[in-house]
Amino acid sequence: MLWLFGLVGVVLVVVIGLVVLGRETARLASTARPAVFDLSEAVEFIADRLPAQVQARISHEDVRWVLLADADLIESHTLEPTDDPDGADALVVDEVDAVARILAAADASGRELEDADIVAVLTCRSDYLEAIGAVGPEVGP
């Protein structure tokens, strides 16, 4: 008789565990995974996908430097006050202006980067952002 209560107890614990595990698995499957920009992972991802001519000219450290310089540019652009009451213009960074500013910073720091190198890194950066789910297709109304 005692073994019957033990068996019922074990079966009850296993069933409760499976129900809880199944419920949490279903909840996590329907929840969007947060997109996290990992700089080391981004450098590897981008460096592997650069065109061969760019890979021959720049190093992983150059890719890291361009990414950090671009992040500084975006941060400085978002800190500037805007006259637009909606703030729509505050979030737009001109691509040509971004490349020019990064190229000027590269020249100032003594890095031998060409504008094509910077454009290639920024293009592959966009591919990385899509791969991690940070950007995607436009959401409808």
Instruction: Please list, residue by residue across 21-45, b when 16 or more beta carbons sit within 10 angstroms of its beta carbon and e when fewer do.
Output: eeeeeeeeeeeeeeeeeeeeebbeb
% of the chain surpassing 70 pLDDT: 86
Instruction: Give 62-103 pLDDT, tens digit per residue.
Output: 999 999 998 888 887 776 555 555 555 445 667 788 888 888
Q: What is the pLDDT of residue 59?
A: 92
- Identify the three-state secondary structure at position 108: helix
Q: What is the pLDDT of residue 96?
A: 82
Cα Rg, the chain, nearest whole Å: 25
- Give residue limits of the domains in the chain: 1-31, 39-81+90-131
